Structure formats: structure tokens, C-alpha cells
Amino acid sequence: MDSKYFVAIRPRLNDFHSVHKEGCPFLTEGDEKICLGLFHSERDAEDAGKKHFIKVKSCPYCSKEKKVTIEIPEPQDVLYSIMNWMEPEEQANYQSLFCCVN
């Protein structure tokens, strides 16, 4: 579904102009803005905003559906990757140490 996007004329503190989705609470009626049109994605709206300003980024609030996930590896995977970089005699020392800790 397409959404209507706007770019703020006044840049943020980092000199980037924010691209907002219609209904964003950080883009009030009094703010000066340029209507970019209907777009299927924020990326397309950002590209359209770059036709007006050089530095353009999506509003963090509007893009909240993009969740940043950090995958934490399992301890045995970390040990396995370390062991693959070691010489065979070093591997034996660390395997016995690892068994003692467990």
C-alpha cells in the first residue's frame, strides 16, 4: 500500500532533511514541507527527496517498523570459530580448559 510522504524544508541538527510519512507526529501542520507524493517504500521517498536536497534521511519515528536486530551467537559457535584459527596443539590446550570450566 502506498503512503504519502513529505520532506521537511528545515534541516535537523545534523543538516539532514527528514522524510516523513503522512500522519507522523514530528511533522506538524505548521512545519514547512514539500509533498513528495505517494510511494510504496521509504527508500523511494528518500530518492525523491534527494531531488530537492542533497542530505536526506528517513524520520526515525516513521521508519520504526524497521527493527534492528542483533544476533548473538551461541557460546559453542564462538568457541568453534576461535578453534578454527588456532594451531592443532593450541586447540588441545583450550579444549581441556573449556571442559574444566563447564
Q: What pLDDT, in 10s, does the model give residues 62-99?
A: 877 555 555 665 665 655 555 555 555 555 555 555 44
Residue 28 DSSP SS3: coil
Flag whether 84 is in a domain: yes
More confident residue, 32 or 69: 32
The whole-model pTM stands at 0.59
Mark whether 14 and 45 lie in a shared domain.
Answer: yes
Q: How far apart are CA 76 and CA 52, in angstroms?
A: 51
Are residues 75 and 102 located together in one domain of the fold? yes
Report yes or no on 63 lying in a domain. Answer: no
Question: What sign for the dihedral angle of Cα 43, 35, 21, 40?
Answer: negative
Question: Is 76 inside a domain boundary?
Answer: yes
Kindly report the backbone phi and psi dihedral angles of residue 17, in degrees, each rounded to the nearest multiple of 5, phi listed first. -90, 135
Domain with 82, as residue range(s), is 70-102
The residue among 50, 8, 51, 11 whose CA lies nearest residue 32 is: 8
For 58, phi then psi, to 5°, come to -70, 145
| Per-residue confidence (pLDDT) for residue 47, from 0 to 100 | 92
- 83: in domain: yes
